[in-house]
Amino acid sequence: MKESLGQEIARSLSTLSEKERDVINLYYGIGHGHSWTLDEIGIKFGLTRERVRQIKEKAIRRLKHNSRSKLLKTYLGQ
């Protein structure tokens, strides 16, 4: 189940832009071992903390309304 959940997360994230995907992966520590702060992500990409927050929020909204996320919600019991 863990492997299929990972595949479903990857499929859901593939619907995002590269920058949105990078921000989400770093913020939640997906594939990085630890989560990054908005400030750390901003420094990496040359963006303000506020701009990183906006990108993160937009990506989350897109994931919530994405048809692929319905299957992901099933895995998470939501």
Residue-wise pLDDT for 5-57, tens only, equals: 778 788 888 989 999 999 999 999 988 789 999 999 999 999 999 999 999 99
What pLDDT shows up at residue 45?
Answer: 98
CB contact set of 68 (below 8 Å; sequence gap of 6+): 8, 11, 12, 15
pLDDT confidence bin for 4, thresholds 50/70/90: confident
Q: For the whole model, what pTM was predicted? A: 0.81
Q: Is 2-76 a CATH 1.10.10.10 domain?
A: yes
From CA 22, how far away is CA 75, in angstroms rounded?
23
Please state the domain extents for the chain.
2-76
Q: Considering only CA atoms, give the Rg of the chain.
A: 13
- Residue 30 near residue 9, CB atoms below 8 Å: yes
- Residue 56 near residue 9, CB atoms below 8 Å: no
